[in-house]
Amino acid sequence: MKPDIAEVLIELSALVARNAAPDIPPADRAGALGLTAALLAIAGRQWDEAAHNLALENRSIRSLLTIPGEDLDIRISTLSAENARLRALLIERHVEVEGRDSRAEAEIWAELVASTVRRLAPGSPV
């Protein structure tokens, strides 16, 4: 998820501190607090699931593309970088099989659907 959660949380902490000042217009403060709350809710959900989902997805894509490897470093930044590498390879594979191998294509679409379930944010409109 971009921007990275850690960086956003640091920025939000500064925003909350600024909004604690007494001379902030109430409308500005209300707007900032409402958005901060929404972002914290999304970050909170990701906190528990991010590493699990990235590792799960990386394993799934490797299996689909028959690529060897495993995630030994489970920091989110490392898992995300590997995820980006694998999803770039998935695009290449999708282009190769499109219109040529319906079974492989269906497997890729199934993985892409699953990827959006893993990334579902609270209150997602779709």
Q: Report the interface residues with another protein, using CB under 8 A.
A: 1-3, 8, 11-12, 15, 25, 27-28, 30-32, 34-36, 38-39, 42, 80, 83-84, 87-88, 90-91, 94-95, 98, 108-109, 112-113, 115-116, 119-121, 123-126
The residue among 123, 97, 126 whose CA lies nearest residue 37 is: 123
Cβ closer to another protein: 11 or 101? 11
The residue among 115, 67, 117 whose CA lies nearest residue 92 is: 67
* Closest distance of CB 81 from another protein, Å: 10
Q: Which residue has the tokens 């607090």?
A: 33
Cβ closer to another protein: 2 or 73? 2
Q: 22: which residues sit within 8 A by CB, 6+ positions away?
A: none
Cβ closer to another protein: 74 or 110? 110
Please report the DSSP string for 92-111 in residue order: HHHHHHTTT-HHHHHHHHHH
* Closest distance of CB 67 from another protein, Å: 15
Q: Output the six-digit token pair for 61.
A: 């894509």
* Closest distance of CB 56 from another protein, Å: 16
* Closest distance of CB 53 from another protein, Å: 11
Q: Which residue has the tokens 């528990």?
A: 48
